[in-house]
Structure 1
Amino acid sequence: MQALYPEIKPYARHTLAVEAPHELYVDESGMPEGLPVVFIHGGPGGGCDALSRRFFDPTLYRIVTFDQRGCGRSTPHASLENNTTAHLVADMEKIREHLGIEQWVLFGGSWGSTLALAYAQAHPERVLGLVLRGIFLCRPQDLQWFYQEGASHVFPDYWEDYIAPIPAAERGELIPAFYKRLTGDDQIAQMHAAKAWSVWEGRTATLRPNPNVVERFGDPRRALAMARIECHYFMHQIFLEEGQLLRDMHKISHLPGVIVHGRYDMVCPLDNAWDLHKRWPNSELVIVRDAGHAAGEPGIADALVRATNQMARRLLDLPQNVE
Structure 2
Amino acid sequence: MATENSLSTDSKYDQYDFPTTAPESQSGHPGHTTPEQDAKMHQLRAELEKLGYTKRLDSLTLLRFLRARKFDVEAAKTMLTNSETWRKEFGTDDLARTFEYPEKEKVFKYYPQFYHKTDMDGRPVYIEKLGKIDLNKMYQITTGERMLKNLVTESEKLSDPRLLACSRKAGKLLETCCTIMDLKGVGITSVPSVYGYVKQASDISQNHYPERLGKLYLINAPWGFSSVFSALKGFLDPVTVSKIHVLDSGYQKELLAQVPAENLPVEFGGTCKCEGSCELADFGPWKEDEWVRTPKWAQPKEAETTTPAEATPLAEGKEEETVSEATA
TM-score, normalization by structure 1: 0.27
Q: Report which of the two has the higher share of strand.
A: 1
Higher relative contact order (CA closer than 8 Å, sequence separation 6+): 2
Whichever of the two has the greater Rg, that structure is 2
